[in-house]
Amino acid sequence: MEPQVGMDQEIEKSTVPATGVSEKPGETAALNPKMKAKKVSVYYGEKQALFDVDLNIYEKSVTALIGPSGCGKSTFIRALNRMNDVIEGCRVTGKILLDDMDVYDPKVDPVQLRAHVGMVFQKPNPFPKSIFDNIAYGPKIHGMGSNKTDLEEIVETSLKRAGLFDEVKDRLKEPGTGLSGGQQQRLCIARAIAVSPDVILMDEPCSALDPIATARIEELIDELKQNYTIVIVTHSMQQAARVSQKTAFFHLGYLVEEGDTDMIFTSPNDERTESYITGRIG
C-alpha cells in the first residue's frame, strides 16, 4: 500500500521539538483509526492493571505510549496482540478492534492475529539461529514462502526495510546473537516486518541501546511509518516527541490524556500529564 499523501498533511510537524531525525516532507499520518480500544480493562488475577482505556491508534502513524513505571503501558500494548493470553490469570474485558474485527472474539486465532500485529521487545531477542533463519522463521510457519527463493526474497526485503541488509548481507548464515545490540534490535524489527504485519508494537525498543543505535532505530521507525502502523512504548520524552505523531499518557492504570504529540508536549490538558512531561512525577 502506498502511503497516503494528501490534504490531511500535518502542518504542525514543524512545531515538534528539534530532533536529529530529518523530517521528510510529504510524510503524513492518515487519520483513520487502525485499531480501537474500547473500555479495555486488564486484570492480573484479582489485581486490575488497566481501567477502561479508550484509545484509537491511527493508520500509518506512530503512537507513543508514555507514563511512569508500572502504569500499564506494557499491559496495554500486549493486550493489542493478545500476548497476555499466555500469562496465567490474565483477563481482558472491553473491546479491541483491528479494522472493526474484535481481536478477543473467540473465533479469532491469536496466532494469525500476531502475524497482523507484530511485536518488538525491550531487550533484543533474536533466536539463537542464523540471521537468515531468524527472519525466515515467521514466513515459514505462516506458509508465506513456499520455496527457498521466495524466502530469500522476503529475507532480503525485510532486512533492507530494517536498514540492516548492507551490514549483514555477507553473513546471513552466522548466528543472529553475534550482532551488536543495535543490529540485533533491527534484526528483530526485520523479523517482525517479515510476516508483513499491519501494526508493529514496540515495547521500549531502544532502552537497551546506546544513543547512536537509538538514533538509527528512530530513523528506521520514521521510515517504517510510511507502510506500517506503529505503537511504541518509551520512557524518553524526547524520543516520543521525535518519532510519534500521537501520544497517550498513562498513569496508575488509567489513560489520562491522548492526542497529537506536539499538543501533549506543548499544552497538555491534564496537570498530571504536565507534571510527568516536566519531570515531576515518574
Partner 1 sequence: MSDTAIKPTQGHRIEWGSEQQLKNVKRRYAADRRLQLFGLGAISLAVLLLGILVFSLVQTGYKSFVQTKVLVEIPLDHPSIKRDEPGKGSYRVIVRNAFRSNFPEVSGRRDLRNVDRILSSQARFIVRDYVVANPELVGQTIKIALPLSDPFDQLHKKVIPSQIAALSQREKQLFKSLQDRNVVSIENDVTVVQIDAFIDPEKVAAQDLDAGDYEGVVKEGLRSYFLNYQPSSYEPILADNAADAVKNFVQQNPGVVGQTVQVKVPVSEHYDVLNKGSEPFVTNPRFDSAKQIEQYKALNEKNLISTPFNWELFFNSDSRFPEQAGLAGAIVGSFYTLLVCFLISFPVGISAAVYLEEFAPKNRYTDLIEVNINNLAAVPSVVFGLLGLAVFLGFFGMPRSAPLVGGMVLSLMTLPTIIIATRAALKAVPPSVREAALGVGASRHQVVIHHVLPLAMPGILTGTIIGLAQALGETAPLLLIGMNAFITAAPGGILEPATALPTQIFSWADSPERGFVSRTSAAILVLLGFLVIMNAIAIFMRQRFERSW
Contact residues for ligand ATP, defined by CB under 6 A: 44, 47, 49, 67, 69-75, 87
C-alpha cell recorded at residue 270: 491534564
Among 175, 181, 259, 282, binds partner 1 (CB under 8 A): 175
- Minimum distance, C-beta of residue 123 to partner 1, in the bound complex (Å): 6
Cβ partners under 8 Å of residue 136, min gap 6: 145, 151, 154, 155, 194
Would you count residue 130 as binding Mg ion (CB under 5 A)? Answer: no
Nearest residue to 202 (alpha-carbon basis) of 185, 219, 177: 185
Among 2, 88, 166, 170, binds partner 1 (CB under 8 A): 88
Stretch 22-61: interaction string toward Mg ion, x if CB under 5 A: ----------------------------------------
- Minimum distance, C-beta of residue 86 to partner 1, in the bound complex (Å): 6
Number of residues interacting with partner 1: please give it, by CB under 8 A.
30
Among 67, 72, 126, 253, binds partner 1 (CB under 8 A): 126
| 133-140 LR contacts (CB < 8 Å, sep 24+) | 133/176, 134/176, 134/187, 134/190, 134/191, 135/159, 135/187, 135/190, 135/191, 135/194, 136/194, 137/191, 138/191, 138/192, 138/194, 138/195, 139/194, 139/195
Residue 72 contact, options partner 1, ligand ATP, Mg ion, none, Cβ 5-8 Å cut-off depending on partner type: ligand ATP
How far from chain centre, in Å, is Cα 213?
17
Would you count residue 165 as binding partner 1 (CB under 8 A)? Answer: no
Would you count residue 231 as binding partner 1 (CB under 8 A)? Answer: no
Would you count residue 155 as binding partner 1 (CB under 8 A)? Answer: no
Spatial strand order in the sheet of 47-58: 101-102, 90-98, 33-44, 47-58, 254-260, 246-251, 62-66, 229-233, 199-203, 117-120
Q: Which is nearer to ligand ATP, 2 or 46 (CB)?
A: 46
Among 74, 84, 196, 229, binds Mg ion (CB under 5 A): 74
